[in-house]
Amino acid sequence: MRKLFQGSLIIFLSGLVLIFLSCTPLSCIGETESYVKASLYDKVLKKLHSPDSLTMYGLNMETSKLYDKTLNVQPAHIPLNASATYCTYIIRIDGLTDTLKFWYNSYPHLISKECGYTYYHTLDSLTFTNHLIDTVLIRNKRVTTINEENIRIFY
């Protein structure tokens, strides 16, 4: 009887230890934002080339700049507006200004229980002005939290 009690006690206590181990809350770790990852290329050499100065902001959002005369940006991380199917950015490279307009679809994606949901996007197309930018190529239409190149901007 004593042996039985000891055995049951060990089972009960070991179970309690497991309860405490299993109830540890976790925090949100990792990237939660989806960005268009834009690599900047020299249009002549066709090689990666970081601008001396990059300024970038959304149309009508000049007071809230994404990049403000930032040096050596490579790649540029460009967030899309999940509440719309397109958004426009003003992009100024080495003093010359262009506009870049993205057309896309957005859909929700679960990151984790701790982090919740974010939006992923599928790029449909993009248009741009040619003051400095020569070409823009879409390399990967899926815009996610993963660090993968989406577009190449040749200037």
Pair of tokens at residue 90:
């003003």
At closest approach, how far in Å is the CB of 87 from another protein? 7
C-beta closer to another protein: residue 40 or 78: 78
Q: Which residues bind another protein (CB under 8 A)?
A: 4, 7-8, 11-12, 14-15, 18-19, 22, 33, 58, 61, 64, 66, 79-84, 87, 106-110, 112-113, 116-120
Task: Please state the three-class secondary structure of the chain as a single string.
Answer: CHHHHHHHHHHHHHHHHHHHHHCCCCCCCCCCCCEEEEEEECCCCCCECCCCCEEEEECCCCCCEEEEEECCCCCEEEECCCCCCEEEEEEEECCEEEEEEEEEEEEEEEEECCCEEEEEEEEEEEEECCCCCCEEEECCCEECCCCCCCEEEEC
At closest approach, how far in Å is the CB of 48 from another protein? 24
C-beta closer to another protein: residue 50 or 88: 88
C-beta closer to another protein: residue 50 or 145: 145
Q: Do the beta carbons of residue 41 and residue 136 sit within 8 Å?
A: no
C-beta closer to another protein: residue 32 or 154: 32
At closest approach, how far in Å is the CB of 44 from another protein? 32
At closest approach, how far in Å is the CB of 18 from another protein? 5
C-beta closer to another protein: residue 45 or 107: 107
At closest approach, how far in Å is the CB of 11 from another protein? 5
Residue count of the chain: 155
